[in-house]
Amino acid sequence: MSLGPIPSGKSVTTSAAELRPVTALKGVGDALATKLAKLGVETVQDLLFLLPLRYEDRTQIIPIGALRSGDRAVVEGEVQLAELVFRRRRQLLVRITDGSGFLTLRFFYFTAQQQAQLTRGVRLRCYGEARRGSLGLEIVHPEYRRADGPDAQRTEDSLTPVYPTTEGVQQGRLRILTALALDDAEQQRVRDWLPSDLLRDLGLPSLAEALTYVHRPPPGADLMPLAMGTHPAQRRLAFEELLAHQISLRLLRQQIRTEPAWPLVSAGQLVMQFRQALPFSLTQAQERTLSEAIKDIGTTSPMLRLVQGDVGSGKTVVAALTALVAIEAGYQVAMMAPTELLAEQHWQNFESWFKPLRLPVALLSGKLTGTARQKTLNAIASGVDVPLVIGTHALFQEGVRFNRLALVIIDEQHRFGVQQRMALREKGMKEGRVPHQLIMTATPIPRTLAMTAYADLDVSVIDELPPGRTPVSTVVLPETRRDTVVARIAAACREGRQAYWVCPLIEESDELDYQAAEATHAALVSALPSLQVGLVHGRLTSKKKEAMMASFKRGELNLLVATTVIEVGVDVPNASLMVIENAERMGLAQLHQLRGRVGRGAAESTCVLLYRAPLSRLAQERLDVMRSTTDGFKVSERDLELRGPGELLGTRQTGLVQMKVAELIRDADLLPRVQKAAEQLISHHPESIRPLLRRWIGNGEQYGQV
Ligand code: ADP
Ligand code: MG
């Protein structure tokens, strides 16, 4: 796929100047150009956006006596002694002094010419990182030159940028090349695509000013904001970069939406029957989300809607109602879950919901094989018999053909990549129509971030829990208090309550994972002889897992020991106590998901987080967050602060992680303005779009090919 709807750049002259090949610069031939290409540098403009990784201060000469281990600095001194020694390796040791102290320069590689030059009495200016060595402070392989030559007095007049390099392209060369490119920028040959009124509003510098500053910060520039990326010059560039990403996601969305979908409209018979049979009425947030989805699927433009709702907020019912509209309109619906366990649970739910409506529901799981599988596949392909198919990623394997697939529901989206969503979409591409997509996630993310990361989706938020739920109270205890916890479980179960005991995933190893769960199970069985204690873990066949879960759900088991397989979606309203072992090892999102398994019924629920001391500062903070709130949005906001967005969203969903200057968290305050600016540019300055994408994202392939 290419980025179809990008308006073509009109201002050919400026674009042409921006796209001058690096070979247009003095001293750059084909050989160097090939090497630069490895750094992603093909044009003069690319050189400008090859930004320094860090800066060195070579504007001042530091007295040797003031030098500390770990300092990178320029020093100047006279050679006192130079000797060739053989200590494991042949090396040249040169001792210099400036009267305030001594410093050893250590060379393992040197030419005969260098050796001849470095003799007593010669003045040197050196740059490098000082470290404590066997002879006191030393610099290994410093950059150096003679300081008694003609330009001896000169020091650098700006901070020295350090660029990412590649083989055969040295720092010195990059500094020369970027200086040449900066001349271009200063002569306005690189165009500032941000409207000047926008820059004025933002109080940010022009492109040329910003580039000059980041490539050549003046002496005395404060290195702190520069290192943190918060200098206005950097913010100006970050803004532009975020803007380019925002625009590209919007274009992707536009493009998807220009492909036609079946408009799904029904008289609402099935919806009405289903609602009447429900033992509860929908919350306002559910109603709002439902009507947004129904409105979306009624048009020929494919729905791409993300439903964010905390665990237990009731996303499944909304999905079911949306599905009924599509089914009544005469089409097929596919629902995809991240695990077999969840697919089966959904299937059970939907079966019991849809049975009174006489709508068969098919389950296509990995364990379905042979003729049974073929039969199901045939039914799906024929369409009429199977209005709803539930499954895992098995749904989009080869060999699965739908008849009239018009709506795809994806549960727990964070486990699916964009690619997988797109693959499923292709499945419905019959007669050139793409299915509508409803994506449900229990990983709530802060709004500004959602708008940035999911700019290709519309977002509905179910920000309200069904009534009658009492928030889960969370207790954090050291594992030395385990006995107290066990006693508490015994008491709760005597009152007819049920409990989960969650064992952690151990170093991603299935085997250890399962052993730990087995051991815990055995210990609890002997500590609680009067209780029925079950065990589920990833090693069980899905049949056994299912049987165990079902028996827990029926109340035949008091306590269920489980690995984190129960993390997502499992629904047993009578379970009101959860113990999570080694909670300090788990991430916030995971803890929140796990905790969401309790607090689903009317009884007051408790979650006990057991930890092993000592706690790291980060672990301590995570546990504090869990103790202080049950609001998924607050949890995820803190998670974001503690971890950063890449991990939270998964790199595949964001497409935002490889940014050059911007960082979502640090620059989050810019995001609302970025949104507005994206709209402004798309509608009023379409000519700026292609050059901006070219500048920041390359040819847009990354987005065009999801
Ligand atoms: P999640 O958003 O985590 O997927 P579910 O859809 O599994 O949540 O719903 C959690 C539980 O709440 C289920 O038992 C469901 O039947 C119930 N539920 C959903 N909506 C409501 C409502 N409006 N009132 C009462 N209970 C509800
Ligand atoms: Mg769910």
Centre of ligand 1 from the C-alpha of residue 465, in Å: 8
503 shares its domain with 445: no
Q: Are residues 399 and 482 in the same domain?
A: no
Dihedrals phi, psi of 555, to nearest 5 degrees: 85, 10
pLDDT above 90: percentage of residues in the chain: 38
Distances from the Cα of 620 to the Cα of 16, 121, 165, 300, 478, angstroms: 55, 58, 40, 51, 12
598 lines ligand 1 (CB under 6 A): no
Does some domain include residue 663? no
pLDDT single digits (tens) 84-129: 998 888 999 999 999 999 999 999 988 899 899 999 999 999 999 9
For residue range 29-42, list pLDDT tens digits in order. 999 999 998 888 88
Percent of the chain with pLDDT over 70: 85
- Please indicate, yes or no, whether residues 555 and 491 belong to a single structural domain of this protein: yes
In a domain, 670, yes or no: no
For residues 316 and 462, is the Cβ–Cβ distance under 8 A? no
Comparing 155 with 69, the larger pLDDT belongs to: 69
Confidence of residue 4 (pLDDT cuts 50, 70, 90): very low
Query: Does residue 293 sit in the same domain as residue 440?
Result: yes
Among 590, 608, 629, where does a domain finish? Answer: 629
Same domain, 363 and 490: no
Q: What is the predicted pLDDT for the residue at 647?
A: 46
Kindly give the pairing relationship between strand 361-364 and strand 160-162: unpaired
- 443 ligand 1 Cβ < 6 A: no
Q: Is residue 478 in a domain?
A: yes
Residues 440 and 522 grouped into a single domain: no
If asked whether residues 116 and 150 sit together in one domain, one would say yes
> How many Cα neighbours within 13 Å face the side chain of 85?
10
DSSP β-ladder status, 72-87 and 361-364? unpaired
Which atom of ligand 1 lies closest to the CA of 573?
A: 14
DSSP 298: T
If asked whether residues 495 and 607 sit together in one domain, one would say: yes
The answer to whether position 77 is within a domain reads: yes
Residues paired with 410 in a beta bridge: 336, 439
Per-residue pLDDT for 396 more than 90? Answer: no
d(CA 270, CA 268) in angstroms, rounded, equals 6
User: Domain range for residue 126?
Assistant: 60-155
Q: In this structure, are 355 and 453 located in the same domain?
A: yes
Last residue of a domain, one of 597, 629, 661: 629
CA distance 633 to 497: 29
* Position 178 in a domain: no
What DSSP string runs through 438-449? EEEES----HHH
Question: Do 281 and 139 have their domain in common?
Answer: no
Could you give the CA distance from residue 571 to residue 555 in angstroms, rounded to a whole number? Answer: 13
Question: Is residue 178 in contact with ligand 1, taking CB distance under 6 Å?
Answer: no
Q: Is 312 in the pocket of ligand 1 (CB under 6 A)?
A: yes
CA distances from 14 to 387, 687, 689 (A): 56, 11, 13
- In this structure, the residue with its CA closest to atom 15 of ligand 1 is 314
Same domain, 389 and 481: no
CA dihedral 324, 326, 331, 336 (to 10 degrees): -80
Report the C-alpha gap between 622 and 240 in whole angstroms.
34
Residues sharing a CB contact under 8 Å with residue 289, sequence separation 6 or more, in sequence order? 307, 309, 318, 460, 461, 462
Q: How many domains does the chain have?
A: 3
Query: Mean pLDDT, the chain, as a whole number?
Result: 83
Whether 186 is in a domain gets the answer: no
Residue nearest to atom 13 of ligand 1 (CA): 314
Domain of residue 542, CATH code:
3.40.50.300
703 located within any domain: no
DSSP 582-609: TGGGS-HHHHHHHHTTSS-SSS--EEEE
Instruction: Report the residue among 275, 280, 470 best suited for mutation to probe ligand 1: largest number of ligand atoms under 8 A from its CB.
Output: 280
β 405-411/388-391 pair status = unpaired
User: Is 618:642 a contact under the CB 8 Å cutoff?
Assistant: yes
- 168-192 average pLDDT score: 82
Spatial separation of the C-alpha atoms in residues 170 and 296, rounded to whole Å: 55
Domain final position from 596, 629, 662: 629
Which CATH number fits the domain that encloses residue 142?
2.40.50.140
Q: Which helix (H) or strand (E) holds 160?
A: strand 160-162
- Can you tell me the distance from the alpha carbon of 307 to that of 310, in angstroms, rounded to the nearest whole number? 10
Burial 521-533 (b: 16+ CB within 10 A, else e): beebbeebeebbb
E strands of 522-584, at which residues?
533-536, 559-562, 575-580
End-to-end CA distance of the chain: 8
Judge whether 685 lies within some domain.
no
- Are both 278 and 374 inside the same structural domain? yes
